[in-house]
């Protein structure tokens, strides 16, 4: 249970993001959400790079496929062995814009939404570093993290949890959602959006935002 004191503290943490303070107590379904996924060359924000960005907007309990965006991003050091995971090869990025060009075009819509991730800490770490590098408005330290929501649900059920149990596809399967082609930024973003809707339906409620936020 989140106490009024915790809510007040979260308002203070959001003080540099004007709209966040007013969003905290509003039902999630009424807010502009954006599910986001990044494909990366590795897990280190200092050594690795973003090679694609996928996003899709959500509002009023629905996914707006018309808003779906997928952008390849040139990698300054090549994709290396990460190509075996996401399938993006260097040749596919030859004509892709650099992050310094791609990110500012996408950022205003992202900054005006509540971000939704599956494993928020990883992707937000890369976005936070990029925002600082390109002098963009820093992203909020808060996000909706479908992995964290699922972890909390499984813990409440007394389940023994393995790392595989929290993979996006495994989480989706527990809600009867269909399998999908993973490790594509856009398909992963849509899959994350669908998972969030299923999780909210399971809660049988429309919780205020502050109840399901993750701090990253």
State both tokens at 17: 């993001």
Contact 94, 78 (CB under 8 A): no
Contact 213, 13 (CB under 8 A): no
Q: For 68-103, b where at least 16 C-beta lie within 10 A, e where not — what string?
A: bbbbbbbbeeebeebeeebebeeeebeebeebeebb
- Which position has the token pair 């005006």? 112
Question: What are the structural domains of the chain?
Answer: 29-215 (3.30.420.10)
* Ordered per-residue pLDDT tens for the chain, 216 residues: 455 655 555 554 555 556 777 888 899 999 999 999 999 999 999 999 999 999 999 999 999 999 999 999 999 888 888 877 888 888 889 999 999 999 999 999 999 999 999 999 999 999 999 999 999 998 888 899 999 999 999 999 999 999 899 999 999 999 999 998 888 999 999 999 999 999 999 987 789 998 899 877
């Amino acid at each position: 249970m989140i106490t009024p004191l915790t809510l007040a503290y979260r308002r203070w943490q959001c003080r540099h993001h004007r709209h966040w303070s007013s969003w905290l107590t509003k039902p999630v379904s009424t807010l502009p959400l954006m599910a986001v996924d990044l494909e990366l060359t590795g897990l280190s924000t200092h050594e690795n790079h973003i090679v694609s960005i996928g996003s899709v907007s959500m509002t009023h309990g629905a996914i707006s496929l018309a808003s779906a965006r997928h952008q390849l991003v040139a990698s300054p050091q090549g994709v290396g062995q990460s190509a075996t995971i996401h399938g993006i090869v260097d040749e596919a990025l030859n004509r892709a814009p650099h992050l310094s060009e791609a990110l500012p075009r996408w950022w205003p819509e992202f900054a005006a939404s509540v971000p939704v991730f599956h494993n928020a800490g990883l992707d937000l770490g890369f976005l936070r570093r990029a925002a600082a590098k390109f002098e963009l408005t820093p992203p909020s330290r808060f996000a909706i993290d479908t992995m964290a929501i699922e972890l909390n649900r499984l813990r409440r059920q007394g389940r023994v949890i393995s790392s595989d149990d929290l993979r996006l596809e495994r989480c989706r399967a527990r809600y009867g959602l269909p399998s999908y082609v993973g490790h594509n930024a856009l398909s992963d973003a849509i899959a994350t959006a669908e998972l969030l809707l299923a999780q909210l339906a399971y809660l049988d409620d429309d919780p205020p935002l502050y109840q399901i936020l993750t701090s990253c």
